[in-house]
Structure 1
Amino acid sequence: MALCFKRLQRRMRCACASGRVGSPVYVALEGDASMNRVIRNASLAAALCGALPAIASTGYLDFTANRLNILAGETVDFAATFGFSLDSYAGGGSNPVEPEPADGYQEWQVNWYNAYSETVIGVQLQAAGSSYFDTGSGGSWSFSTTFDTPGTYVIDLTGGWTTRADSYTSTESATRNCYNYDPEGGGSLTCDSWQWNYYDNTDSYDYDSGFNSLSLTVQVAAVPEPQTYAMLLAGLVAVGCVARRRRS
């Protein structure tokens, strides 16, 4: 089997090896029927390998507040905004030129197509005892919190999203065997008729991802006592009187 795959690597032209998506694929190998089935699957994977994208949806999250320094009993308005970068791909190719006969097993990849897309189907956020859920691919969430007690409060925003990945693959290929019963005596190749194969596959699955958590720090000061206000007012009056005397 190792020898057969080495031959496959030498004789197969593929988008993965050449860097050209949609390059034609010809396979010609010697071997029994079971080995040919293995090679058929390997060549199909090779024909499509250059077209398959990486799964990499990316989420963006921002967290703001209308103020971060307040007095006890006051309310802070928070806002979270989010968005996503999603992958999609569609492409394929065709190779209508029939390969020349070659001794052994031959496979001819005639047409191939691959499509892939991602959709965000759920967003979850949590902060300050509140939670949010939506099915959109972008948006915002606003909430308010009242701080009754003086102190320092760290408000953490966490969450994640669910992505649905849909893919479709279609190929049309043909296989045959060619024989030379007397190569040393100058015999010629004899080939079977092409056997046509059609492959269509649709797949869909969901996967979860998490946002990088964000935080805001709220400083809550104590409300001044009534006597403090009285002393402050008296001080302001005294300053005003001194200023008037100087002017007069």
Structure 2
Amino acid sequence: MKRTIVSLVLGLALSAGTAHGAGSVTATNLGIATLDTMLPLDMKVISDTGNTLSVSMDGFLTPEKVSVKAGYEGIAENHLYNFSALQFDVRAGYRITSLTFSGIAAGTLDVTAPPPGTNPDPYPFAGNYFDISWGIQGGSGYHRAAGDDFAGTQAFSVTTGQSIEGRSVLEFTNTVSATALGYQALVCTDHCWDQLYDASASLQVSNLVMTVQIAAVPEPETYGMLLGGLAVVVAAMRTGLSARRDRGV
């Protein structure tokens, strides 16, 4: 079973142009700058229409394959982390409306089912997951994008609606993880012996892309015109209703 959890927020840095370095990108209505990172982060603009920006995020999640193999003695775990602080500014007059993380997850989950009549405690398992967690610097919100239990090679894509204007610094903690636990069981044929059953898991995430949707923010005058037009419509409806009542309709 695979589950995906999403809740994504971003704000981006102002400028116009194309990618110009591993630590920053610029686009028509927004840009991104790396303030701090544990692993080298290589960002490149894939496409920019003004309303949609897609950026490759190599190194945002560890590019290494995370793997474990476990016997029955205890749980084997392998977690690789990365921390990144990214500054995002939306160009004046625009805002972010949604953001998507997409990529490829290649994982393995290998655990042998216990023989009939046995019930190991703890029960054997194999699992893997990636997790992107962050908060806005100085804010109180907490956000996640995650997926787990990948067996084989699968494309993933997680999207959230969000309204972000102005400058934001987002602090990301990203994890790729694999865990497993094997077991020991008594097996009997013409004699009995303790059979050891290993368990293993692995995960590698690649081709990570962040896609941001951007829209123009209506000017205050536009809101005033909309409200004024609505008031005219309401007044006309009331006038028409009064006229029908006077005629006894």
TM-score by length of 2: 0.30
Higher radius of gyration, 1 or 2: 1
TM-score by length of 1: 0.30
Name the structure where helix makes up a greater proportion of residues. 1
Name the structure where strand makes up a greater proportion of residues. 2
